[in-house]
Amino acid sequence: MTEMIQPTGGGVGAFVNGIDLADSPSDNMVGELRNALGEHGVLFFRNQNISPEAHMAFAEKFAPININRFIAHVDGYPKITQVLKEPDQKKNIGGGWHTDHTYDTEPAMGSILLARETPKHGGDTMYASTCRAYETLSDSFSKTLDGLKATHSSRHVFGPQARYVQKNEDTAGRLGNNEAATQDSVHPLVITHPISGKKSIYVNPGFTTGIEGWNDAEAEPFLKILYDHIAKPEHTYRFQWAPGSIAFWDNRATWHYAVNDYHGERRLMHRITIEGEALAA
């Protein structure tokens, strides 16, 4: 299996070669992929022209599927989220650094994103390793993170007061169910990754709202230092999509950012998110 895993050469991720996900992988293969996911943070696959049924079957090898509360699903497949931007739309989904579902008390393990239609140019996704970012902190600074807990929420992103609602952005029909955005959570600011055992900085600009016990004036500049550090180029990799490409990322080890640079073209992705577990320092 090790010869099938090729690190990207960037700060995060690896390519998986020689596997057809249309064929149900064995339990041994799933175990190897799980370990590789823990080690590399995100796994990339090419030329996977799989059906929705095969997509779901592969995901369920790892964990039960999480049905997204706020993003539209593929017709006939409520377990598959439709990540779509039409040529006449300006706003994309996921256009900023974030980690999914940190607002849940048991955050989702990760997502398996399959490209169905891609623009001729652009539409890449950037990934960043929160594990590598922790490893490159100074010893003195990393010690200041011990024992801290961060607060997270879905309300300001998906709720009735969310920016996209207040500004009447063109995500109507793609995002919705605002009244269900009631999730708030507290997690250690540094977690131990459930698969790899590595330390990971578990905050993100999308859903983190503060540091428990700190006021905003104290927390905001401190969090910005961490955000700027995680997003350094040496911690990142930019993935170029093509139809049939898959990215399988671990939310506990990475951030991602969908680059919105393809106005006037269509981009259609199918995403399945899988359940996780409570996180510990």
Distance CA 279, CA 230 (A): 20
How far is C-alpha 20 from the geometric centre of its chain's CA atoms? 23
Indicate if the pLDDT at residue 164 is higher than 90: no
Active-site residue set: 98, 100, 256, 271
Domain boundaries in the chain? 2-274
Checking if the pLDDT of 1 tops 70, the result is: no
Query: What 3-state DSSP class applies to 99?
Result: coil
Say which CATH topology domain 2-274 has.
Double-stranded beta-helix (3.60.130)
Q: Quickly state the pLDDT bin for 2 (edges 50, 70, 90).
A: low
Q: Taking the model in full, what pTM does it have?
A: 0.96
pLDDT tops 70 at residue 187: yes
Mean pLDDT of 221-249: 98
Distance CA 124, CA 131 (A): 22
Render pLDDT for 25-35 as a digit per residue (tens, 0 to 9). 999 999 999 99
Does pLDDT of 274 surpass 90?
yes
Neighbours of 27 (CB within 10 A): 8
Q: For every residue of 213-265, which 3-state class applies, written as one string?
A: CCCHHHHHHHHHHHHHHHCCHHHEEEECCCCCCEEEEECCCEEEEECCCCCCC
Q: Report the chain's mean pLDDT, rounded to a whole number.
A: 96
pLDDT of the residue at 173: 81
On the CB side of 241, CA atoms within 13 Å amount to: 27
